[in-house]
């Protein structure tokens, strides 16, 4: 591995060079000849004496380093405490130049020579309340972080750009800035910080501004977003309609009647253990939700994304996803699904177009399997390709009737479909323990109410009923799809409890089904298509009769 370190004559840059001694081919640079040559003699690195804050110095360093795998930009300065109103133009320009402009100039020269990853050092001062006396320094570091994000955008996919926000470190900069000696003694040394810098530089992704303290305490949380809530209108209550599938069993109804409503709910942990056992995973791999699959998707967005980040998914898909992204200030990058000659969609998701859509701001992948409403499923091989990206994958299996297979994805399931418990909003996620732990950070003290726990327990007590309901639904789906095809409709192929139906007279079909009181939905992306949820046999027969009246000559 080839590594270049700018600002390696002392402090953190020199400590990183020592930590990489014998592990990488090093090219190091600083303005002070004696210091940089001493570090080179100690580490076996190639030393360049140059001022990377100038175009000529940066170009000289970059030419000597060549196309490096990693460039550590450890350039910057500190200053004595000064009120912002007293700083004056010269001090402001000096520290903006040394802490923002100089690192950017050095990085630009290295990127033009083919650097694959530029990694900057910033400060936790940008993530804390303003510190009196540190205004010029903090503002300059905030500008640097903006430049890091811009580098990430402009250089993707040929190169990455990230930064690490460090707290105070015991270096000469703090001595020059007049930091009291009793404070300096409490700061970690540059040698203690260097391994953290190197570890952070090896992490995947681009456009990240990492919090060093969080990275030390909880690496998974440090790599996730901070999930600020966007200023948007709240969700409107959806129209009242039945969830596709069957009604609740007599056992569920009896369990609900026996609940002591005056007591706080108990049993959520036991329910999580039952679900873990059912799927052959540890309890740490299960997160519960009393708000349905939708609430778990929202949690995932808040955990893994910050405002301005992106989520990649097929399109069309679960409509609530775009609304949730809007609420959190996250962009939904929708990738059009592949169509068949009849205008419907391929029955299997392909990883290739989703992988091509991943960009520097992508923080989450979302795939529904079966998808709502296309019915497409994600084959195991395609899912493995998506899991290898290092970006969390949420696999929404709320409409799947097959047991989830262990994988690196976060798999979401609900008790709404076959069990007829849409009103209960009981759902759960199964996934890697470190990702599930992040979802649990947003879990309420009572994640499920007593009626929800009782209903879920009653369902798990009779797994054979769920299997039987699934078989009946598959049979019913095939029957209704065949009847609609006889009327000239193109009907999606899927195990999902909905039919995506295309017909030139789709508007007439939509009106007829709505007039019959059926929960049909308009396919807003396709004027020739409607989405027909399946219900009980009598409801499905009414749908076929209405379709015949609308489409028969």
Give the CA-trace dihedral at 277, 282, 284, 286, to 10 degrees: -40
- pLDDT (tens digit, 9 = 90+) per residue, 316-339? 999 899 999 988 889 999 999 999
Residue 243 pLDDT > 60: no
Q: Residue 502 in 3-state DSSP?
A: strand
Q: What is the pLDDT, as a whole number, of residue 151?
A: 96
Q: What is the pLDDT, as a whole number, of residue 238?
A: 55
pLDDT band with cut points at 50, 70 and 90 for residue 245: low
Cα separation, 108 vs 62, in Å, equals 9
- The one-character DSSP state at 285 is G
Cα separation, 324 vs 259, in Å, equals 33
**Which residues, at least 6 apart from 488, have a Cβ–Cβ distance to it below 8 Å?**
503, 551
- pLDDT (tens digit, 9 = 90+) per residue, 32-62? 999 999 999 999 999 999 999 999 999 999 9
Q: Residue 27 in 3-state DSSP?
A: strand
Nearest-5° angle of CA 438, CA 287, CA 362? 45
166, 122 contact by CB (below 8 A): yes
Q: What is the pLDDT, as a whole number, of residue 234?
A: 56
Average pLDDT over residues 153-164: 93
Candidates 3.40.1800.10, 1.10.460.10, 3.40.50.720, 3.10.20.30; CATH matching 2-222: 3.40.50.720
Domain ranges of the chain: 2-222, 250-461, 465-551
Q: What is the pLDDT, as a whole number, of residue 392?
A: 95
- pLDDT (tens digit, 9 = 90+) per residue, 255-299? 777 777 777 788 899 999 999 998 899 999 999 999 999 999 999
254, 407 contact by CB (below 8 A): no
Bridge partner residues of 411 (DSSP): 395, 430
167, 196 contact by CB (below 8 A): no
Residue 239 pLDDT > 70: no
pLDDT band with cut points at 50, 70 and 90 for residue 230: very low
**Which residues, at least 6 apart from 135, have a Cβ–Cβ distance to it below 8 Å?**
82, 83, 84, 87
Cα separation, 541 vs 150, in Å, equals 57
Closest CA to 386 of 433, 337, 353: 353
**Which residues, at least 6 apart from 543, have a Cβ–Cβ distance to it below 8 Å?**
480, 513, 516, 518, 520, 532
- pLDDT (tens digit, 9 = 90+) per residue, 409-461? 999 998 877 777 777 889 999 999 999 999 999 988 888 988 888 888 888 88
pLDDT band with cut points at 50, 70 and 90 for residue 247: low
- pLDDT (tens digit, 9 = 90+) per residue, 351-362? 999 999 999 989
Cα separation, 448 vs 288, in Å, equals 8
pLDDT band with cut points at 50, 70 and 90 for residue 165: very high
User: Which sign does the torsion angle of CA 497, 502, 506, 509 carry?
Assistant: negative
Q: What is the pLDDT, as a whole number, of residue 224?
A: 65
- pLDDT (tens digit, 9 = 90+) per residue, 10-24? 999 999 999 999 999
pTM metric for this prediction: 0.78
- pLDDT (tens digit, 9 = 90+) per residue, 174-188? 777 777 888 778 889
- pLDDT (tens digit, 9 = 90+) per residue, 471-515? 888 888 899 999 999 999 999 988 778 899 999 999 999 999 998
- pLDDT (tens digit, 9 = 90+) per residue, 503-534? 999 999 999 999 888 888 888 889 999 999 88
Residue 467 pLDDT > 90: no
* pLDDT, the chain, mean: 88
Give the CA-trace dihedral at 121, 123, 127, 133, to 10 degrees: -150
Q: What is the pLDDT, as a whole number, of residue 128?
A: 83
E strands in 184-324: 209-211, 286-289, 310-315
Query: What percent of the chain has pLDDT above 70?
Result: 94
User: Residue 552 phi/psi, 5° resolution?
Assistant: -70, 145
User: Which sign does the torsion angle of CA 268, 273, 279, 285 carry?
Assistant: positive
Average pLDDT over residues 389-394: 94
User: 332-341 as b/e, with b when 16 or more CB fall inside 10 Å?
Assistant: bbbbebeeee
Q: Residue 393 in 3-state DSSP?
A: strand
**β-bridge pairing 498-502 and 393-396:** unpaired
CATH number, span 250-461: 3.40.640.10
End-to-end C-alpha distance for the chain, whole angstroms? 72
Which residue matches tokens 């009653």?
458
Average pLDDT over residues 377-399: 92
Cα separation, 252 vs 458, in Å, equals 5
Q: Residue 425 in 3-state DSSP?
A: coil
Cα separation, 195 vs 322, in Å, equals 40
- pLDDT (tens digit, 9 = 90+) per residue, 531-553? 998 888 888 899 999 999 999 87
pLDDT band with cut points at 50, 70 and 90 for residue 233: low
CATH number, span 465-551: 3.90.1150.10
**Distances in Å between the alpha carbon of 124 and those of 143, 165, 209, 212, 492?**
13, 5, 10, 8, 52
Cα separation, 118 vs 5, in Å, equals 10
Q: What is the pLDDT, as a whole number, of residue 242?
A: 52
Query: What percent of the chain has pLDDT above 90?
Result: 62
How is residue 359 written in tokens?
A: 């960009």
The DSSP line for 334-368 is: EEEPPBPTTSSB-SB--HHHHHHH--TTEEEEEEE
Cα separation, 12 vs 171, in Å, equals 8
pLDDT band with cut points at 50, 70 and 90 for residue 227: very low
Residue scoring higher pLDDT (243 or 263)? 263
Cα separation, 99 vs 389, in Å, equals 33
């Amino acid at each position: 591995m080839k590594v270049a370190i700018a600002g390696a004559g002392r402090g953190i840059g020199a400590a990183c060079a020592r930590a990489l001694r014998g592990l990488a081919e090093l090219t190091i640079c600083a303005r002070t000849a004696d210091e940089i040559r001493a570090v080179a003699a100690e580490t076996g690195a190639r030393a360049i004496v140059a001022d990377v804050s100038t175009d000529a110095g940066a170009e000289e360093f970059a030419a000597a380093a060549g196309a490096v795998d990693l460039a550590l930009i450890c350039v910057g300065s500190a200053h004595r405490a000064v009120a912002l109103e007293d700083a004056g133009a010269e001090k402001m320009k000096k520290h903006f130049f040394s802490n923002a402009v100089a690192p950017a100039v050095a990085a630009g020269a290295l990127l033009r020579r083919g650097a694959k990853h530029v990694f900057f050092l910033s400060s936790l001062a940008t993530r804390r309340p303003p510190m009196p006396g540190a205004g010029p320094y903090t503002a300059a570091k905030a500008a640097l972080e903006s430049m890091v994000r811009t580098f990430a955008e402009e250089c993707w996919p040929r190169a990455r750009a990230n930064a690490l926000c460090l707290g105070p470190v015991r270096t000469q900069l703090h001595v020059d800035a007049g930091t009291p000696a009793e404070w300096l003694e409490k700061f970690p040394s540059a040698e203690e910080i260097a391994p953290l810098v190197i570890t952070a530089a090896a992490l995947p992704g681009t456009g990240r501004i990492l919090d060093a303290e969080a990275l030390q305490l909880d690496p998974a949380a440090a790599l996730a977003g901070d999930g600020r809530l966007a200023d948007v209108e709240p969700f409107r209550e959806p129209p009242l309609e039945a969830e596709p599938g069957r009604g609740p069993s007599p056992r569920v109804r009896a369990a609900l009647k026996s609940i002591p409503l005056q007591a706080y709910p108990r049993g959520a942990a036991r329910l999580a253990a039952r679900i873990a056992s059912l799927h052959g995973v540890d309890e740490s791999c299960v997160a519960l939700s009393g708000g349905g699959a939708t609430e778990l998707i929202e949690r995932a967005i808040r955990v893994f994304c910050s405002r301005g980040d992106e989520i990649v998914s097929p399109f069309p898909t679960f409509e609530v996803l775009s609304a949730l992204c809007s609420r959190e200030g996250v962009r939904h990058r929708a990738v059009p699904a592949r169509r068949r000659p009849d205008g419907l969609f391929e029955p299997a998701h392909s990883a290739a177009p989703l992988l091509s859509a991943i960009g520097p701001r992508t923080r989450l992948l979302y795939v529904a399997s079966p998808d709502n409403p296309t019915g497409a499923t994600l084959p195991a091989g395609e899912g493995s390709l998506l899991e290898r990206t290092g970006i969390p994958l949420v696999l929404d299996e709320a409409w799947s009737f097959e047991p989830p297979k262990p994988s690196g994805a976060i798999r979401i399931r609900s008790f709404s479909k076959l069990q007829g418990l849409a009103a209960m909003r009981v759902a759960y996620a199964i996934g890697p323990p470190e990702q599930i732990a992040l979802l649990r950070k947003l879990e309420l003290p009572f994640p499920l109410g007593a009626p929800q726990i009782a209903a879920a327990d009653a369902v798990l007590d009779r797994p054979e009923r769920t299997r039987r309901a699934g078989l009946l639904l598959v049979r019913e789906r095939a029957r209704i799809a065949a009847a609609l095809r006889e009327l000239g409709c193109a009907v999606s192929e899927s195990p999902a409890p909905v039919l995506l139906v295309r017909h030139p007279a789709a508007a007439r079909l939509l009106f007829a089904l709505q007039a019959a009181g059926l929960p049909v939905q308009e396919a807003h992306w396709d004027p020739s298509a409607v989405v027909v949820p399946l219900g009980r046999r009598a409801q499905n027969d009414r749908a076929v009769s209405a379709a015949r009246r609308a489409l028969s000559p």
